Structure 1
Amino acid sequence: MRIGQLARRSGVGVRALRHYEEQRLLESTRTPGGQRDCPGEVLERVQLIQDLFAAGLSSRTVVELLPCVSTGVATPAMLDQLVVERDRIAARVQDLTRARTEPGRVIENVTAANVAQG
Structure 2
Amino acid sequence: MRIGELATRTGVSVRSLRYYEQQGLLDPDRTAAGHRVYTAEHEACVVQIQELFQAGFCSSVIQELLPALTRPDQDASLLDKALVAAQARLESEKRSIETEMAGLRRLRVRLGLAPDTHVTPQDGPHDSLQYTQQLRLIIETDDFDEAVRFYRDVLGMAEQPAFATEGDDRVSILNAGIATIELATPTHVRTIDAIEKAPTTPGPTLRIALEVEDTEAAVSSAREHGAQTLAPATHTPFRTINARVQGPAGWQVTFFQELETLEERATREGFTTDDDRPR
TM range (shorter): 0.5 to 0.7
Q: Could you say if the C-alpha distance between residues 36 and 52 of structure 1 is closer, same or farther in structure 2, counting changes exceeding 3 Å?
A: same
Contact 2:20 2:26 in 1 (8 A): yes
Query: Which structure features the higher share of helix residues?
Result: 1
State the 1:60 CA deviation. 0.6
**Partner deviation per Cα, 1:37-73 (whole Å, 9 max, x = no partner):** 0122211111110000001011110001111111224
Q: Does 1:48 pair with 2:48?
A: yes
Question: Of the candidates 80, 83, 88, which is equivalent to residue 84 of structure 2?
Answer: 80
Q: Percent identity?
A: 42
Larger mean CA deviation between 25-34 and 61-70 belongs to 25-34
Q: Counterparts of 1:19 and 1:27 in 2: how far apart (Å)?
A: 11
Q: Counterparts of 1:66 and 1:20 in 2: how far apart (Å)?
A: 12
State the 1:27 CA deviation. 1.5
Partner of 1:14: 14
Q: Counterparts of 1:76 and 1:49 in 2: how far apart (Å)?
A: 18
Q: Which amino acid aligns with 1:28?
A: P
Larger radius of gyration: 2
Partner of 2:31: 31
State the 1:9 CA deviation. 1.0
Q: Which amino acid aligns with 1:64?
A: E
How many pairs are equivalent? 85
TM-score normalised per structure 2 = 0.28
Structure 2: where are the runs of 5+ without partners?
Answer: 91-279
TM-score normalised per structure 1 = 0.62
Query: Which structure features the higher share of strand residues?
Result: 2
Q: Counterparts of 1:79 and 1:50 in 2: how far apart (Å)?
A: 17
Contact 2:6 2:43 in 1 (8 A): yes
What is the RMSD of the two structures over their aligned residues, measured on CA atoms?
2.3
**Partner deviation per Cα, 1:67-87 (whole Å, 9 max, x = no partner):** 1111224175424256789xx
